[in-house]
Structure 1
Amino acid sequence: MNTTNMIPLYAEVFLLVAASAILLIDMFLSEGKRSITYVLSLLTLLVCGYFSYVDYAAGTTVYTFNNMFVSDPMSNLLKLFTYVSVGMTLIYARQYATDRGMLSGNLGGEFYVLALFSLLGQMVMISGNSLLSIYLGIELMSLALYALVALRRDNAQATEAAMKYFILGAMASGFLLYGMSMIYGATGTLDLSKVALAAASGTIKPTILVFGLVFLVAGLAFKLGAVPFHMWVPDVYQGSPTAVTLLLGGAPKLATFAVCIRLLVEGLLPMAVDWQQMLLVLAVLSLAIGNLTAIAQSNIKRMLAYSTIAQMGFVLLGLLAGVVGTNRTGAPAAYSAAMFYAITYVMTTAGSFGMIMVLARAGFEADELADFKGLSKRNGWYAVLMSIMMFSLAGVPPMLGFAAKFSVLAAVLGTGQIWLTVLAVMFSLIGAFYYLRVVKMMWFDEPTDSTPLSIPGDMNLVLSLNGLALVVVGMLPGPLLASCLSAMTKTLNT
């Protein structure tokens, strides 16, 4: 393999080498110098961001490793936001993890190293162009996340959450692998472009492909947290340390979205009629159960978990709006709307969990809704930031969440499914209740805790930029929408 073919892999190779080096360096650091691991991790993300941005700016599609790995505009744009999400998580989590002993003693810098290895898995998922490479990426990401959930070994809740996540995750991996084996058995290839040709040839019994497709969709639905494969989400979100919950609920959603595009759109688009019907059921159930169940929650992490289930319903709406009968002209717009929504969700949920970590302190998790009462009287700016996050998740203009919901609803409306658009709007209105309840508690209730809020300067800066970006980009969503549309169009055309 010549050097030119390795260029698309520079970000992944650098991340692998850097994560391994950070693990070794951390072994020789004393507890007081653990910040070196933190800084090296952020520098690693910056360098990876540089490599991916250069590839994204080139706007080309390059295949390597016998077509098992692809670098295209969609993959590079998603990787950039994945770096941003993981970087924000590390910044938000530093004080939280320090207070809970997650960066000291025998644990050392494993939190940072495991986060980087999970990111490497996500990058492989995003650029996978083979059933095998995609599965390897999923397993690399999942194994690192299993360990992260169980990082606080002395915490019963975290241990229970890790067991649930591991067992159900193994089952989902089994679904995916079985579905992939059926697709491979039917088409005789692991290469997604060849799978697409075989599926369109008409020489394969559709029953076998549909059978494999059912298992594929089930595995993907688990990774997204869509109903009825959502049972792990609330328990794992609540039981995990908040820093790990953000690693679970943020960047992996972008990677799973990319896998949906790779498998369903690039690999099995000839079967769009079949998998769109499955996604329709998943989307409606997710919107209904996610929004309705969230209303009954008193724990904010469980509330945001059910919120995630509902938000993934919107992503699925964008994915199912790409093909109408045999007409595929609206595919780039629909899939880019889903991509825009996934990015918006990740950026917003990062700020939401960041605010939970702002209120948390040693020995206190701040994961109940009541902990946010009277936040405006304790610190007005943090109340403003959390309000922005809640308004964005609810889809209130001019926040970014409104633009994201509007773009997806416009794509669904373009397919002529007015009933589905109305249903999505109705469930969004129901969902607005539990978001606005948090805002009401912060501004109109009396505080139950008068402890001063003190956070590191880097966390304060990034959290403020996170909140302001949701407002600014929400008022001017054009450039980000155009980037998503351009990336998706170029990717689908190749």
Structure 2
Amino acid sequence: MTQMTTNLIPVYAEIFVLVAASAILLIDMFLSESKRSVTYVLTLLTLVGAAVFSFADLNTGATVFTFNNMFVADPMANLLKLFTYLTVGVTLVYSRQYATERGMMSGNLGGEFYVLALFALLGQMIMISGNSMLSLYLGLELQSLATYALVALRRDHAASTEAAMKYFVLGSLASGFLLYGISMVYGATGSLLLTDITAHIATQGANHTILVFGLVFIVAGLAFKLGVVPFHMWVPDVYQGSPTAVTLLLGGAPKLAAFAMMLRILVEALPQMAIDWQQMLLVLAVLSLAVGNLTAIAQTNIKRMLAYSTIAQMGFVMLGMLAGVVVVGGEPNAANSAPAYSSAMYYAITYVLTTVGTFGLIMMLARAGFEADELVDFKGLSKRSPWFAVVMTVLMFSLAGVPPMMGFMAKWAVLQAVTATGQIWLAVLAVLFSLIGAFYYLRVVKVMWFDEPADATAISTPFDMRVVMSINGIAVVLLGVMPGALLGACLTAIKQTLAT
């Protein structure tokens, strides 16, 4: 069911987050450092409130357009937003002690960490629900500006400052690429609305050369935000140089928003150009799988290793996206579109749920003056904390695609979509690179269980962090053993979204 409305009901969640973030910023000004937990609690309550609005919209199953069709609330958007809230909430729970010990929530900084996280979230929500090139770009820039500030939040830390400069310069370049591509599509079609672009190309046609050039720049900008090869240069440096709490804010929820933006532009606005953008995604996917997995083997810094792992994992998301349209008899056939795009969506969600746990454990082992971001810092974790060694093992197995973890089911869903297109060679190549990638994940497991601990210091973490970490590890197993509900939800959301 599709509705067009002039009211604000579809954007209640965004309005709520905006008002709450502004209120939290003001309230935090009058709080002493000893009462900084108030800011933390208010931020989590904001996420809960936004989740209530999005869940109510998801239950209706309706697709609603507002703001002159520039904003859409559909099942895919609402489902992705719910997982975005969950990811940001878990990230803040994991980050609380880490950020406090490093002075990121004291003195002049106050609660800016939480407020910037909420503004980044607001940008992600707009990216997920944008139905215009303009609203998508505004959401992207809101998220980017907040994350630039987050990376540079530790002003007295040289590595963070360097990472922020690299991220800002390369991020600005990518935004320029994206904006130039959007301008070329606008020049060819005369519209910025995604639905109008599709209708214009279908009914009146457009200059194919201009569209292809615009598409190249758009794909380049999206590839940067996802961190895929050859636009990956910033990922390892920024992941390593940023405070781990900020690294998780960069590597978690933004991937869901970037996936949604990619689907909105490529699938909803430019479906007639599918053959062109699929070829681009094919190159990006293969290069990402190769460079990500091979380079990660040489890394001794675990944050840098996980950065290259992210590059490889995003290659699998690209595989799901490029499997949506098949050429049959020289004509594009979209019969495989819903299973393919839902597999990419499912993969993005499972990756994010797993990666928040891995970086959370890095923060759990860290303490004041010690980052715990080297592989040797995980030596003998099984002797220091057997349960969390088990959790980290589960997370590593999931990223490697070992059954019955949910990472295996995600890879299986994507490979099924790829083989349905007849590109068996591509599925075999993905499997081979996954086997190579399993080495560096299993190396972490070996270090935890078979090496002697280099540090016998007791692991001291807040109770809420321990509980959430345990639930995170258990969820990775349960969603792998019983993937039907999440897979079905993704498939239904994609089908309903594509139908409108």
From 237, 240, 251, the equivalent of 1:238 is 240
Q: Gaps (5+ residues) in structure 1?
A: none
From 376, 382, 385, the equivalent of 1:376 is 382
Q: Aligned AA for 1:259?
A: M
1:41 CA drift (Å): 0.1
Which residue of 1 is the match for residue 265 of structure 2? 263
Q: How far apart, CA to CA, are the structure 1 residues paired with 2:404 and 2:6?
A: 45
Deviation per CA, 1:431-479, whole angstroms, max 9, x where unpaired? Answer: 0000000000000000000000010011000010000000011100000
Q: Does 1:465 align with 2:471?
A: yes
From 337, 345, 351, the equivalent of 1:345 is 351
Which residue of 2 is the match for residue 96 of structure 1? 98
Q: Does 1:385 align with 2:387?
A: no
Deviation per CA, 1:115-146, whole angstroms, max 9, x where unpaired? Answer: 00000000000000000000000000000000
Q: How far apart, CA to CA, are the structure 1 residues paired with 2:422 and 2:205?
A: 32
Q: How far apart, CA to CA, are the structure 2 residues paired with 1:173 and 1:346?
A: 23
Question: Equivalent residue of 2:333, what SS?
Answer: coil
Structural mapping, 1:62-77, within 5 Å? 62-77=64-79
Which residue of 1 is the match for residue 298 of structure 2? 296
Which residue of 2 is the match for residue 213 of structure 1? 215
Q: Aligned AA for 2:486?
A: L
Deviation per CA, 1:218-251, whole angstroms, max 9, x where unpaired? Answer: 0000000000000000000000000000000000
Question: Equivalent residue of 1:5, what SS?
Answer: coil
Q: Does 1:484 align with 2:486?
A: no
From 419, 439, 442, the equivalent of 1:436 is 442
Which residue of 2 is the match for residue 60 of structure 1? 62
Which residue of 1 is the match for residue 372 of structure 2? 366
- TM-score (norm. length: structure 2): 0.98
Q: Aligned AA for 2:157?
A: N
Deviation per CA, 1:41-91, whole angstroms, max 9, x where unpaired? Answer: 000000000000000011000000000000000000000000000000000
Q: Aligned AA for 1:336?
A: S
Which residue of 2 is the match for residue 425 of structure 1? 431
Q: Aligned AA for 2:499?
A: N
1:199 CA drift (Å): 2.2
Question: Equivalent residue of 1:70, what SS?
Answer: strand
Q: How far apart, CA to CA, are the structure 2 residues paired with 1:201 and 1:443?
A: 62
Q: How far apart, CA to CA, are the structure 1 residues paired with 2:145 and 2:136?
A: 14
Structural mapping, 1:193-232, within 5 Å? 193-201=195-203, 203-232=205-234
1:202 CA drift (Å): 5.7
Q: Is the 8 A contact 1:403 1:474 kept in 2?
A: yes
Report the identity percentage.
73
Q: Is the 8 A contact 1:186 1:208 kept in 2?
A: yes
Q: How far apart, CA to CA, are the structure 2 residues paired with 1:202 and 1:399?
A: 48
Q: How far apart, CA to CA, are the structure 2 residues paired with 1:191 and 1:118?
A: 23
After TM superposition, which residue ranges in structure 1, 4 or more long, deviate above 4 angstroms? none
Which residue of 2 is the match for residue 123 of structure 1? 125
Q: Is the 8 A contact 1:394 1:431 kept in 2?
A: yes
Deviation per CA, 1:150-194, whole angstroms, max 9, x where unpaired? Answer: 000000000000000000000000000000000001000011001
Q: What is the RMSD computed on CA atoms of the aligned residues?
A: 0.8
Q: Is the 8 A contact 1:19 1:116 kept in 2?
A: yes
Count of residues in Structure 1 that have an aligned counterpart in Structure 2? 493
Q: Aligned AA for 2:436?
A: I
Structural mapping, 1:29-178, within 5 Å? 29-178=31-180
Q: How far apart, CA to CA, are the structure 1 residues paired with 2:261 and 2:358?
A: 25
Which residue of 2 is the match for residue 405 of structure 1? 411
Q: Is the 8 A contact 2:148 2:167 kept in 1?
A: yes
Q: How far apart, CA to CA, are the structure 2 residues paired with 1:236 and 1:280?
A: 26
Q: How far apart, CA to CA, are the structure 2 residues paired with 1:5 and 1:272?
A: 34
Q: Is the 8 A contact 2:147 2:250 kept in 1?
A: yes
Question: Equivalent residue of 1:63, what SS?
Answer: strand
Q: How far apart, CA to CA, are the structure 1 residues paired with 2:218 and 2:134?
A: 13
Q: How far apart, CA to CA, are the structure 2 residues paired with 1:473 and 1:316?
A: 22
1:258 CA drift (Å): 0.2
- TM-score (norm. length: structure 1): 0.99
Q: How far apart, CA to CA, are the structure 1 residues paired with 2:217 and 2:488?
A: 34
Question: Equivalent residue of 2:65, what SS?
Answer: strand
1:205 CA drift (Å): 1.5
Q: How far apart, CA to CA, are the structure 1 residues paired with 2:481 and 2:204?
A: 47
Q: How far apart, CA to CA, are the structure 2 residues paired with 1:89 and 1:268?
A: 34
Q: Aligned AA for 2:190?
A: G
Deviation per CA, 1:359-395, whole angstroms, max 9, x where unpaired? Answer: 0000000000000000000010010010011000000
Q: Aligned AA for 1:105?
A: G
